[in-house]
């Protein structure tokens, strides 16, 4: 009888039942790349050496040519470049100035006796002196700086007027001090459109400031300097200009000497700007709007405003129109000057945020965002796309600039937002319609192409239903869920108030979506089932062969799926080892062929039980797999220089010419081959009545005129017969065969 008369039809459901041409096991065998041939796949070789001893359920191919692998056990990160893995210390950073966590301290000081409209606020670094600038143009008091003494550092409620002032001869609207307190700078609104420096003979004593000194004319870039900040070295200066709604950055050739400043770059801010300030580290920028809302921006390079991106975090003081805004030098909060009567300085605190103790990364994606704001010209410098790695832990959404990866001092993680819902197992991610969607238990969060974060989109499910995985079909998002007695797939166009198609099955959960060109398969439940999804309904397609039951179940991790010429997925043991574990494929050569399943890529650990596959990463011709067995763990890579050494085909039970109830004899085997390189070959084994396979005594003859290998068998009086065909390889060479014939006595080949 011919095993594959109509071509290989993949794995049968069991060893007893299946379509003609199916096998009980196909391991390491390639029957799709050249239809009609049965070959040996390339082997998976351990790529990570002894570097990685943990399972990684999340991996990301990075646009810089590297890949990142996130441990699902300890929160460690490894960066891979050309097969070299480097361990990255995962230290969740503190978050400086998260504006969304701000709250009113209840502390304030009225400055109405001295000030008509507070335009700027500054502190001495020790927090014991506060300065308030009053604009001459609107107050009629001539531009004046007032100095206050604080008995408790940075606590404005302890401030008293020190009877020290400095009269300035410009329409001042912004103010800054040098780090040593010997210089004070005033930014103009109109007039000469300049920043002017004044020298103090006694540091930090504003009454000792002399006449105007060095100046910088900024009229070529703006017109109304309503906020002014320097970095700690005095080599960079930024001006928030409400005339242009921009922040402009200048570089100083000589520290603190503003007449050596040259324009460097700018960043467009949201409209209705009334002021702003920088955090002391230069990595956060706050823009104050006329509606009392403070908008936060994050910079990837300190005091380089071209790297700014709106964070999506805001805070409203609700205190009327304001101009003066200052960040506390110690990072503990910020201060707002209210122009309404009476003129008052209000103090706000930023709650301390503890490191996220749940550092296990649950999902990650590379995603690009514009560094500018939504405008008519997306090709301008301020709308250049920046690449980030977004990743989620139990509580937080983070990101890493791709430009930082591999540089000294990385990883520089940036807190983005605290999830609305905390989940230590699921925060799936998917890019769709220029938006990054993140599952958050009962809702979807999102990041748009301008980096704006929405914690809760229109998509929501009701507890106890929970989002487990995300996929896509056409331009729609697929959302896989679970609840106690069923799992469902919901199709959402990413804009409507809810999904427009839903189908549920009685499975434990939706594990993963398996893409195949224009098809989508759904891997669901603990019994190896794969469903075909037509865009509205799921229909049972096939399942991974095995013996499933109450104490024998398998799973597929959501990141352990990929497309590698055909869909591939990693089968993991949940309990009881119901099926062999490894990297399976489910696909076809083209639409003219049947879809078939096989265990294409056994792991390098060479075991098929007690294994979990965490993540599969495909990039060009690379196939990489993270796995863990009872004794080891690592990351494998497909080796294009070696074939898998132990590939085999195990047939279903063969009855031959005789009825199942009658004994039969195997006369011989015949293999038609296309190639049989030197030092390669075919071996045959037989199992009788399920007692295990054993080699048979054969006399092999090779007919190189017909390209056939014939083996004489001496197997007599057999009942339930199974045949195993094993491929012997030599390095990167292996047999390529067309078919296998098994001749029972009385049958002709």
CATH number at residue 666: 2.60.120
Residue 274 has a pLDDT of 86
Please name which of 398, 363, 358 lies closest in space to residue 557, comparing C-alpha atoms: 363
Q: Do 261 and 279 fall into the same domain?
A: yes
Q: Do 126 and 61 fall into the same domain?
A: no
In angstroms, rounded to a whole number, what is the distance separating the alpha carbons of residues 6 and 738? 11
677: DSSP letter: -
pLDDT band at 655 (very low <50, low <70, confident <90, very high): confident
pLDDT band at 164 (very low <50, low <70, confident <90, very high): very high
In angstroms, rounded to a whole number, what is the distance separating the alpha carbons of residues 339 and 111? 10
pLDDT band at 88 (very low <50, low <70, confident <90, very high): confident
Residue 596 has a pLDDT of 94
Residue at 9 is within a domain: no
Residue at 119 is within a domain: yes
Q: Do 113 and 196 fall into the same domain?
A: yes
Owner of token pair 């081959």 = 673
| Average pLDDT over every residue of 132-140 | 68
User: Does a cis peptide bond (omega within 30 degrees of 0) precede residue 342?
Assistant: yes
E strand or H helix at 138: helix 136-139
Is residue 178 helix, strand or coil?
Answer: coil
Is residue 157 helix, strand or coil?
Answer: helix
| Average pLDDT over every residue of 688-697 | 84
Is residue 379 helix, strand or coil?
Answer: coil
Q: Do 37 and 47 fall into the same domain?
A: no
Is residue 245 helix, strand or coil?
Answer: coil
> Which of 617, 643, 669 is where one domain is finished?
643
Residue 309 has a pLDDT of 80
Cβ neighbours around 253 below 10 Å, total: 10
Residue 723: HSE in the Cβ half-sphere, 13 Å Cα cutoff: 23
Are 590 and 602 contacting, i.e. CB atoms less than 8 angstroms apart? no
Residue 749 has a pLDDT of 47
Q: Do 196 and 81 fall into the same domain?
A: no
Residue at 217 is within a domain: yes
Question: Could you give the percent of the chain with pLDDT greater than 70?
Answer: 92
Q: Is the pLDDT of residue 649 over 80?
A: yes
Which range marks the domain in which residue 662 is found? 25-41+648-744
Residue at 292 is within a domain: yes
Residue at 661 is within a domain: yes
In angstroms, rounded to a whole number, what is the distance separating the alpha carbons of residues 308 and 297? 6
Per-residue burial over 621-642, b if 16 or more Cβ lie within 10 Å, else e, is ebbbbbbbbeeebbbbbbbeeb
Q: Do 200 and 279 fall into the same domain?
A: yes
- Angle subtended at Cα 517 by Cα 628 and Cα 533, rounded to the nearest 5 degrees: 80
pLDDT band at 371 (very low <50, low <70, confident <90, very high): low
pLDDT band at 518 (very low <50, low <70, confident <90, very high): confident
Is residue 404 helix, strand or coil?
Answer: helix
| Average pLDDT over every residue of 637-657 | 91
Let me know if 331 is exposed, middle or buried by CB neighbors in 10 A (0-12, 13-18, 19+). middle
| Average pLDDT over every residue of 101-118 | 88
For the chain, how big is the Rg over CA atoms in Å?
35
pLDDT digits (tens, 9 = 90+) for 596-618: 999 999 999 999 999 999 999 99
Per-residue burial over 591-608, b if 16 or more Cβ lie within 10 Å, else e, is eeeebbbbbbbbbbbebb
pLDDT band at 83 (very low <50, low <70, confident <90, very high): very high
> Which of 322, 349, 376 is where one domain is finished?
349
129-134: strand order across its sheet? 118-123, 129-134, 144-150, 159-167
Let me know if 316 is exposed, middle or buried by CB neighbors in 10 A (0-12, 13-18, 19+). exposed
Name which residue leads in pLDDT, 29 or 397.
29
Name which residue leads in pLDDT, 713 or 109.
109
E strand or H helix at 443: strand 443-447
| Average pLDDT over every residue of 183-190 | 86
Residue 375 has a pLDDT of 41
Q: Do 163 and 309 fall into the same domain?
A: yes
The structure tokens listed for 636 are 């494998």
E strand or H helix at 667: strand 664-675
Q: Do 232 and 217 fall into the same domain?
A: yes
Q: Do 410 and 489 fall into the same domain?
A: yes
| Average pLDDT over every residue of 162-170 | 86
Are 467 and 428 contacting, i.e. CB atoms less than 8 angstroms apart? yes
Residue 652 — φ and ψ, nearest 5°? -75, 180
pLDDT digits (tens, 9 = 90+) for 320-354: 667 889 988 766 788 999 887 688 999 998 765 55
102-110: strand order across its sheet? 102-110, 344-350, 333-338, 322-327
Residue at 354 is within a domain: no
In angstroms, rounded to a whole number, what is the distance separating the alpha carbons of residues 63 and 228? 37
Residue 380 has a pLDDT of 41
- C-alpha distances out from residue 435 to 225, 268, 315, 365, 451, Å: 36, 22, 24, 12, 9
pLDDT digits (tens, 9 = 90+) for 693-743: 887 767 788 888 899 998 887 778 888 889 999 999 999 999 999 999 988
Are 445 and 453 contacting, i.e. CB atoms less than 8 angstroms apart? yes
Owner of token pair 């405008």 = 375
Residue 94 has a pLDDT of 47
Q: Do 34 and 143 fall into the same domain?
A: no
Number of residues assigned to the chain:
749
498: DSSP letter: S
Residue at 17 is within a domain: no
pLDDT digits (tens, 9 = 90+) for 532-571: 999 999 999 999 999 999 999 999 999 999 999 999 999 9
Are 404 and 411 contacting, i.e. CB atoms less than 8 angstroms apart? yes
- Range from 14-23, 67-76, 156-165, 388-397 that averages highest in pLDDT: 156-165
Q: Do 376 and 515 fall into the same domain?
A: yes
pLDDT band at 272 (very low <50, low <70, confident <90, very high): confident
pLDDT band at 143 (very low <50, low <70, confident <90, very high): confident
pLDDT digits (tens, 9 = 90+) for 461-478: 999 999 999 999 999 999
Residue 90 has a pLDDT of 59
Residue at 331 is within a domain: yes
Q: Do 259 and 286 fall into the same domain?
A: yes
**What residue ranges in 462-595 does DSSP mark as E strands?**
466-473, 476-483, 486-492, 501-505, 510-516, 519-524, 529-533, 538-543, 553-555, 561-564, 566-575, 582-587
Q: Is the pLDDT of residue 13 over 60?
A: yes
The structure tokens listed for 14 are 């069991």
Residue 101 — φ and ψ, nearest 5°? -95, 10
Residue 656 has a pLDDT of 62
Are 598 and 585 contacting, i.e. CB atoms less than 8 angstroms apart? yes
CATH number for the domain including 57?
2.130.10.10
In angstroms, rounded to a whole number, what is the distance separating the alpha carbons of residues 620 and 701? 41
pLDDT band at 92 (very low <50, low <70, confident <90, very high): low
> Which of 594, 620, 643 is where one domain is finished?
643
Residue 482 — φ and ψ, nearest 5°? -140, 155
What's the total number of domains in the chain?
3
């Amino acid at each position: 009888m011919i095993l594959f008369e109509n071509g290989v039809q993949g794995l049968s459901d069991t060893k007893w039942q299946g379509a003609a041409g199916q096998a009980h096991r196909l391991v390491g065998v390639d029957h799709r790349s050249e239809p009609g041939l049965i070959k040996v796949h390339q082997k998976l070789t351990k790529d990570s050496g002894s570097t990685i001893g943990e399972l990684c359920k999340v991996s990301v191919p990075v646009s810089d040519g590297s890949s990142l692998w996130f441990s699902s056990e300890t929160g460690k990160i490894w960066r891979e470049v050309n097969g070299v893995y480097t361990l990255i210390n995962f230290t969740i950073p503190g978050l400086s100035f998260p504006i969304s966590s701000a709250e009113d301290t209840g502390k304030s000081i009225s400055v109405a006796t001295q000030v008509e409209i507070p335009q700027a606020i500054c502190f001495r670094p020790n927090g014991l002196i506060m300065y308030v600038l009053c604009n001459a143009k609107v107050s009629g008091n001539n531009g004046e700086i007032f100095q206050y003494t604080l008995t408790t550092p940075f606590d404005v409620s302890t401030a008293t007027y020190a009877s020290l002032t400095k009269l300035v001869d410009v329409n001042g609207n912004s103010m800054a001090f040098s780090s040593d307190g010997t210089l004070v700078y005033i930014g103009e609104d109109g007039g000469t459109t300049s920043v002017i420096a004044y020298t103090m003979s006694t540091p930090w004593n504003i009454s000792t400031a002399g006449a105007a000194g060095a100046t910088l004319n900024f009229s070529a870039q703006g017109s109304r300097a309503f906020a002014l900040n320097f970095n700690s070295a005095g080599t960079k200066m930024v001006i928030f200009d409400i005339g242009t709604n921009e922040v402009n950055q200048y570089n100083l050739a000589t520290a603190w000497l503003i007449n050596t400043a040259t324009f460097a770059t700018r960043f467009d801010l949201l409209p209705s700007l009334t002021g702003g300030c920088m955090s002391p580290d230069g990595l956060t920028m706050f823009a104050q709007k006329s509606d009392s809302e403070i908008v936060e921006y994050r910079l990837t390079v300190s005091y380089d405003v071209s790297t700014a991106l709106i964070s999506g975090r805001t805070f409203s003081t609700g205190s009327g129109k304001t101009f003066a805004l200052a960040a506390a030098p110690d990072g503990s909060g910020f201060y707002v000057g209210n122009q309404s009567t009476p003129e008052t300085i209000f103090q706000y605190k930023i709650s301390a945020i503890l490191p996220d103790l749940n550092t296990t990364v649950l999902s990650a994606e590379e995603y690009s965002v514009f560094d500018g704001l939504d405008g008519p010209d997306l090709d301008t410098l301020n709308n250049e796309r920046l690449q980030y790695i977004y990743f989620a832990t139990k509580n937080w959404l983070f990101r890493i600039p791709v430009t930082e990866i591999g540089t000294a001092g990385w990883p520089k993680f940036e807190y983005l937002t605290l999830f609305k819902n905390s989940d230590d197992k699921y925060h799936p991610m998917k890019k769709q319609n220029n938006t990054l969607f993140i599952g958050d238990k009962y809702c979807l969060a999102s990041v748009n192409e301008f980096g704006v974060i929405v914690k809760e989109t229109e998509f929501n499910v009701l507890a106890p239903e929970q989002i487990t995985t995300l996929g896509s079909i056409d331009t729609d998002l697929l959302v896989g869920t679970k609840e106690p007695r069923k799992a469902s797939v919901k199709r959402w166009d990413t804009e409507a108030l809810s999904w427009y198609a839903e189908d549920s099955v009685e499975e434990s959960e939706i594990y993963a979506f398996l893409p195949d060109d224009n098809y989508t398969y759904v891997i669901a439940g603990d019994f190896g089932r794969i469903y075909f999804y037509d865009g509205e309904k799921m229909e049972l397609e096939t399942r991974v062969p095995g013996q499933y039951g109450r104490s024998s179940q398998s799973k597929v991790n959501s990141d352990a799926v990929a497309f590698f010429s055909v869909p591939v997925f990693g089968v993991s043991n949940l309990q009881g080892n119901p099926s062999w574990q490894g990297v399976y494929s489910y696909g076809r050569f083209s639409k003219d062929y049947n879809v078939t399943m096989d265990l294409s890529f056994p792991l390098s650990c060479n075991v098929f039980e007690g294994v979990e596959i965490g993540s599969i990463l495909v990039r060009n011709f690379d196939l990489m797999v993270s796995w863990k067995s009872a004794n080891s763990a690592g990351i494998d890579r497909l080796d294009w220089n070696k074939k898998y050494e132990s590939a085999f085909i195990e047939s279903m039970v063969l009855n031959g010419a005789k009825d199942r109830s009658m004994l039969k004899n195997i006369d011989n085997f015949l293999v038609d081959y296309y190639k049989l390189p030197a030092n390669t070959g075919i071996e045959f084994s037989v199992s009788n009545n399920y007692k295990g396979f054993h080699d048979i005594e054969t006399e092999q003859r090779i007919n190189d005129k017909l390209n056939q290998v014939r083996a004489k068998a001496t197997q007599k009086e057999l009942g339930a017969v199974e045949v195993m065909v094993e491929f012997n390889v030599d390095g990167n060479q292996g047999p390529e065969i067309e078919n296998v014939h098994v001749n029972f006595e009385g049958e002709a080949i």
